[in-house]
Amino acid sequence: MKIKCPKCDGIAHLADDFSFVRCDPCSLDMTYGEYVKIIAYKDSTYSDILGDYVGSTEGTKAGTLDDW
């Protein structure tokens, strides 16, 4: 699948099993989890997607993206 590269804004490729993201022009190679964190950090529009992976925030404090 083609997705936006967070490093060069070109076209990156997402593996069919969502295991990695690669961009040949800028040599980007990372896991999909790392990709989600970077995209959420760069664009606040996508930061809500990280909340989808948390069952409950009761009893926890706010953290940074590094905590995810």
In a domain, 20, yes or no: yes
pLDDT score at 37: 84
- Contact yes or no for 37/47 (Cβ under 8 A): no
pTM (2 d.p.): 0.63
58 inside domain: no
27 located within any domain: yes
User: Within a domain: residue 62?
Assistant: no
Number of domains in the chain: 1
10-67: pLDDT as tens digits: 999 999 999 999 999 999 999 998 998 888 888 777 666 666 655 555 555 555 555 5
Query: How much is the pLDDT for 25?
Result: 93
Domain of 31, in residue numbers: 2-53
Q: What is the pLDDT of residue 65?
A: 56
pLDDT at 57: 54
Higher pLDDT, 2 or 43: 2
Q: Does residue 65 form part of some domain?
A: no
Distances (CA, A) of 54 to 7, 17, 48, 58, 60: 26, 22, 11, 10, 11
Is 61 domain-assigned?
no
